[in-house]
Amino acid sequence: MPKKAFITGITGQDGAYLTHLLLSKGYEVHGLMRRTSQFNVARLMELCGGTAFEDKLFLHYGDSTDSLNITTLVEDIRPDEIFNLAAQSHVKVSFEMPVYTCDVDALGTLRILEAVRQAHLTDKTHVYQASTSELFGKVHEIPQSESTPFHPRSPYGVAKLFAYWMTVNYRESYGMFASNGILFNHESPFRGETFVTRKITMAAARILNGLQERLELGNMDAKRDWGHARDFVEAMWLILQHDEPGDFIIATGEQHSVREFVTLAFEYAGVSIRWEGEGVNEVGIARVPVYSPNRENASVSRFKPETGFGNTPMEERVVVSVNPEFFRPAEVETLLGNPAKSRQLLGWEAKTSFPQLVQEMMDYDLRKIPIL
Ligand code: NAP
Ligand code: F7E
């Protein structure tokens, strides 16, 4: 009998990569999907292909805020493994929707854990909780490990802290195999478009094709430990295969600033950015194709890594500036993980380097630019 997995958040970035991984391991995969006005399976289709839906992948309508729906699904599916990835996952949005964020991210996790208990599956079902480096927030030590004290800085972080401890509590109270993966930022071409990395690669691809004038960002000094989602979902799976449940940091052990990410994205096309000014007056200046959104300039050709800019007219202008609209009420300035425990106990380590991650995202977003 193939193992059965139930993934909440299957339509998100990690859900799609994890589904691909589990299908390749022969699992029967069940996913929780919200009812939306348009079918929301683009990532799954692109990564897993349509045939995956025919006999191995089953999608169920539901919502993490609906206890009855979650309990019924867990009882019906009786999964061997649950990956609780569903979340309102945007930190800045959590300041605008704190109550909803807590309902989904905090109580949503409790609903999953309690559903397993109510269905008498505590001895059978392994539960993975998508915990986060945002628990560390205003960091108490650098780098952060499993023993670093938590200090969340957003409604998102606080909600995830509740979920973290509830997972520990169900493990300690009921002997459940319930584990937290404390994952640092992980990105990919399938990252949501309003997270900073994807916002940067999409904007850089458009600017390099004359289709966008400039990129506006918030705090460019923020530093993150950025890895690739494809590598990180392997860690999720390994956590549930380990002999014992526990809590694991998953990180690359390397950090970069938002400014460095921007610099590397443009360097992909051989374009150097000159940074000038400070704070809200900081700008990035570069020599790039003339901004020509309607292509009235017929000689503008498509940028390709192999051929470069061809005969495209170029100009030097501001391509990056700061817009305080993107600042957060409380910022997480620096995150750097120490993945020693997961390396030692799970044999996991990040495979994709920072430059490879930026390159893969740039390749993808440049391909997505409409043919002109
Ligand atoms: P994502 O792309 O934003 O995906 C979130 C998923 O949750 C989507 O499938 C979304 O559905 C679903 N969802 C949102 N609200 C829901 C609700 N009320 N009921 C049911 N499903 C709901 O996030 P991700 O980057 O894949 O992250 C996966 C998980 O890991 C999240 O819990 C996130 O908080 C956590 N995490 C992420 C990172 C990271 O760097 N990516 C790091 C640490 C932890 P729709 O498609 O319908 O919106
Ligand atoms: O911001 C700064 C921003 O939104 C990264 C989620 O997956 O990872 C993610 O949360 C940094 C922050 O991710 C812009 O202020 C500057 O310091 O890409 P982000 P995040 O907040 O780190 C954690 C681990 C999760 O668990 C979350 O679910 O970049 N920044 N300018 C900006 N950020 C955004 N979004 N947009 C900007 O214009």
Would you tell me how many other CB atoms lie within 10 Å of the CB of residue 108?
Answer: 25
Q: Given this model, what pLDDT does residue 130 score? A: 99
What confidence category does residue 298 fall into, taking pLDDT thresholds of 50, 70 and 90? Answer: very low
Instruction: Assess contact for 178 and 130: CB atoms under 8 A.
Output: no
Whole-number pLDDT of residue 301: 62
Of 198, 210, 233, 238, residue with least CA distance to 90: 198
For ligand 2, say whether the CB of 217 is within 6 Å of any of its atoms. yes
- Region of 254 please: left (phi>0), alpha (psi -120 to 50) or beta: beta
- Which residue in 28, 81, 134, 187 is the catalytic one? 134
Set 156, 164, 170, 268: catalytic member: 156
**Catalytic (active site) residue 316:** no
**Contact 86 CB / ligand 1 (< 6 Å):** yes
pLDDT exceeds 80 at position 294? no
Give the type of residue at 147. Answer: S
Average pLDDT, the chain: 96
**Distance separating alpha carbons of residues 232 and 295, to the nearest angstrom:** 40
- Read off the pLDDT of each residue in 55-73 and give the average, rounded to a whole number: 97
Q: Say how many residues make up the chain.
A: 372
* Structure-token pair, residue 364: 């993808």
- Average pLDDT rounded to a whole number, residues 23-48: 96
Name the pLDDT band for 300 (thresholds 50, 70, 90).
low
- pLDDT value, residue 50: 83
Q: Which residue has its alpha carbon closest to ligand 2 atom 12?
A: 222
At 255, which amino acid appears?
Q
CB 229 within 8 A of CB 190: yes
Judge if the beta carbon of residue 132 lies within 6 A of ligand 1.
yes
Rounded mean pLDDT, 74-91: 98
- Model confidence at 296, in pLDDT bands (50, 70, 90)? low
Closest CA to 227 of 89, 91, 354: 354
| Centre of ligand 1 from the C-alpha of residue 133, in Å | 15
Which are the contacts of 51, defined by CB distance < 8 A and separation ≥ 6?
none
Is the CB of residue 16 less than 8 Å from the CB of residue 232?
A: no
Whether 71 is a known active-site residue: answer no
Q: Atom of ligand 1 at shortest distance to CA of 86?
A: 7
CA dist 154 → 94, 118, 136, 227, 265 (Å) = 7, 31, 11, 22, 28
Which residues are paired to 234 by β-bridges? none
Counting atoms of ligand 2 from 1, which one is nearest the CA of 198? 18
Q: How confident is the model at residue 55 (pLDDT cuts 50, 70, 90)?
A: confident
- Which is the catalytic residue, given 19, 125, 132, 197? 132
Q: List phi, psi (to 5°) of 287.
A: -95, 115
Place of tokens 């061997």: 80
Q: What is the mean pLDDT of residues 9-16?
A: 98
Out of 150, 224, 320, give the residue to mutate to test ligand 2, the one with the largest number of ligand atoms within 8 Å of its CB: 224
Residue whose Cα lies nearest atom 27 of ligand 2: it is 89
Work out the average pLDDT over 160-187. Answer: 99
Above pLDDT 70, what percent of the chain? 98
Ligand 2 in contact with 260 (CB < 6 A)?
no
Q: Give me the percent of the chain exceeding a pLDDT of 90.
A: 91
CA of 134 to the centre of ligand 2 (A): 10
Residues 133-137 have a mean pLDDT of 98
- Tell me if residue 156 is catalytic: yes
